[in-house]
């Protein structure tokens, strides 16, 4: 592992401050910007360390690491591409908070480490995009856009959707999931 050290207590304090701020729904835009910037720094510091550990992780820890790294990459990419408004900053603080916590947990408690496996695949998977509507991967060259998606787990999940073919794919999937009436017994 690299010689970098993370001040875990500072990360935990930032996550707690963000959680308190989100639940209090305060209206201080300067505090919101400060939280967003601080959490971004934590994610930027933790991602390379977890990426270095990820090939050695096993089982569910590896799966969580891949998800955390993918989410961290997406959140940082979103921060660079979106103009910061109050609504997007609130969403970014929430995303950065959960990503910071996930990456810190992996950094502090990686579980049993083994020989490195498939390190190139982890990097490729981290940068892959999956459509939030149809669930299919967004291939190189396909048109896509960022979207805020509704789900059972949350009303504002940030993700990607196909720009051209997704509506057709989503309609096919909805038709396949339509309930079929049970046969009547006479």
What confidence score (pLDDT) does residue 46 get?
94
Per mean pLDDT, which of 84-88, 108-112, 144-148 is the most reliable?
A: 108-112
Cα radius of gyration rounded to whole Å, the chain: 19
Give residue 41's pLDDT band: very low, low, confident or very high (50, 70, 90): very high
What confidence score (pLDDT) does residue 91 get?
76
Per mean pLDDT, which of 4-18, 86-100, 159-173 is the most reliable?
A: 4-18
Q: Which comes out higher in pLDDT, residue 29 or 78?
A: 78
- Contact 108/53 with Cβ under 8 angstroms? no
Using one digit for the tens of pLDDT, what is the confidence trace for 118-134? 777 777 777 777 777 77
Strand-pair partners of 137: 130
155 has pLDDT over 60: no
What confidence score (pLDDT) does residue 120 get?
75
CA angle 141, 146, 152 (to 5 degrees): 125
Structure tokens at 116: 């490195």
Between 3-7, 136-140, 143-147, the lowest mean confidence (pLDDT) is in 3-7
For residue 167, which of 183, 143, 151 has the smallest C-alpha distance? 143
Its sign, for the CA torsion 110, 47, 102, 116, is negative
What confidence score (pLDDT) does residue 1 get?
45
């Amino acid at each position: 592992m690299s010689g970098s050290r993370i001040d875990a207590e500072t990360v935990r304090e930032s996550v707690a401050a963000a959680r308190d701020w989100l639940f209090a729904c305060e209206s201080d835009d300067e505090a919101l910007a400060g939280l967003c910037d601080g959490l971004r720094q934590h994610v930027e510091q933790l991602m390379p360390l977890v990426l270095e550990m990820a090939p050695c992780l096993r089982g569910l820890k590896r799966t969580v690491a891949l998800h955390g790294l993918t989410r961290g990459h997406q959140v940082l990419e979103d921060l660079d591409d979106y103009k910061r408004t109050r609504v997007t900053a609130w969403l970014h603080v929430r995303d950065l908070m959960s990503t910071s916590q996930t990456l810190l947990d992996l950094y502090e408690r990686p579980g049993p480490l083994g020989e490195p496996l498939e390190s190139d695949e982890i990097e490729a998977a981290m940068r892959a995009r999956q459509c939030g509507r149809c669930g299919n991967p967004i291939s190189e060259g396909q048109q896509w856009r960022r979207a805020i998606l509704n789900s059972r787990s949350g009303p504002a999940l940030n993700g990607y959707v196909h720009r051209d073919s997704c509506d057709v794919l989503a309609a096919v999937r909805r038709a396949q999931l339509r309930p079929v009436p049970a046969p009547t017994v006479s």
